[in-house]
Amino acid sequence: MSLSDQYPSNTDVQAEPIQLSRRRLLLGSAGAMASVSLLGFSPLTRAEEPKTLPDYVKWKNANEVIVHSANTIETERGAIGSGVVTPSDKLYVRNNLPAPNEQIVADRDAWKVSIKGVNNPKTLTIADLKDMGIETVTTVLQCSGNGRAFFEHGPGGTQWGTGAAGCIVWTGVRLRDVVEKLGGVKAGMNYITSTGGESLPAGLDPKTIQVERSVPTRALDQALLAWEMNDDPMPLAHGGPLRMVMPGYYGVNNVKYVEQVAFTEDQSEAKIQTSGYRIRPIGDKGAPGQPSMWEMPVKSWVTAPLSNTNKGRNMIHGVAFGGINAVAKVDVSIDGGKTWKQARFLGPDMGRYAWRPFVLATDLSPGEYRIVSRATDSEGNTQPPNRTENERGYGNASWKDHGVSVTVG
């Protein structure tokens, strides 16, 4: 495999080879047409589609995911179910670079991470971290491009529907606890900058391809250095042996294979930070002054029914989360948003950063319905009807886009 195959070049340093306009999405190949059901149109039978999982994720449930590429695998919209936690074998995969060799998880406790920008900088092993404390937090993990398939201008990148998201239980040590044991953060530091440990090809400027993300130091209170996911050792595909977890922040900030955490005065100079993952007008290039994909907003979507159902009593299921805040309520409409009824949450509340499955029981007569959901967070922010148009198709929380068209017979 050539370097260009392994490390495709584009303006956002993203290994996202699928670039489809809305028309191509609807009329193109079988793989593209499979995404049509995610848009609320007539679905195809996914059993007819060949599915080949890359070796590093052979343990995934092939019947519950959509394989876009070796580095981009989406959870089927109907695979979420009504539980809070997304099973690891159904969780989406989004890698900016190919996953490292499995040798890095052979001796997990020996993995090293350097902590810089503190008064007593030090390199620590996972074994050291385990002696500093332990915490478990449940969070929504969501790719910045989740919902990209709904944008009309056909932004480049993987055409995610709703399946580049999941709700995960992480276990590790709070970054704040580590920092306190190292004498605290140095004065004047404004960002937490995490660096991934993927192997980089020779001959390229590391800053053009390295996964290194900076977030404001306000994230310190919730940040976690995690070595377990859903009560198992962190899988290689999801950042094992050690991953930075930034609850309430988009997935790209949850850096995998983290080998350095630095408190810095300025944001990283890596391309993935300076021009990648920026909200910018259609046609514009990425630049440091544009909004970065940091905190997530409130969002929800329906997970069942998705295309057809029987007349009479129906249970409309979905998931809702508040992003950086807790989700407070979710309303459901069966007429495209003309009228609303409040749904009820299912299962336990697993914290501010977790999603809440919801259900609305309703009677449906034969006919066509447009089912949508609209969530509100604890601060009163309500999911918007429309998306924010932008070049890369980031941050789509539109309740209109995430609706489904259902035929009742």
What does the pLDDT look like over 76-121, one tens digit per residue? 999 998 999 999 999 999 999 999 999 999 999 999 999 999 999 9
Q: 356: which strand partners? A: 320
pLDDT confidence tier of residue 8, bands split at 50, 70 and 90: very low
Residue 102 has what DSSP assignment? G
Three-state SS across 323-389? CCCCEEEEEEECECCCCCEECEECCCCCCCCCCEEEEEEEEECCEEEEEEEEEEECCCCECCCCCCC
What does the pLDDT look like over 180-195, one tens digit per residue? 999 999 999 999 999 9
Average pLDDT over residues 143-167: 98
Q: What is the pLDDT of residue 190?
A: 98
Output the CA angle 95-12-92, nearest 5 degrees.
Answer: 25
CB distance 334 to 343 below 8 Å:
no
Q: What is the pLDDT of residue 51?
A: 72
User: 139 Cβ partners below 8 Å, 6+ apart?
Assistant: 167, 168, 170, 245, 247, 248, 351, 353, 354
DSSP sequence for 217-229: GGGGGT-EEEEEE
pLDDT over 70 percentage in the chain: 88
Cis before residue 348, ω within 30 degrees of 0? Answer: no
Using the predicted structure, report yes or no on whether residue 17 has a pLDDT greater than 80.
no
CB distance 168 to 139 below 8 Å:
yes
Using the predicted structure, report yes or no on whether residue 25 has a pLDDT greater than 50.
no
Q: What is the pLDDT of residue 69?
A: 95
In the chain the domains, ranked by start, together with CATH numbers, are: 3-94 (no CATH), 102-142+162-274 (3.90.420.10), 299-408 (2.60.40.650)
Average pLDDT over residues 260-271: 98
Among candidate residues 251, 369, 296, 320, the one with its CA nearest the CA of residue 82? 320
CB distance 358 to 300 below 8 Å:
yes
pTM of whole model > 0.85?
yes
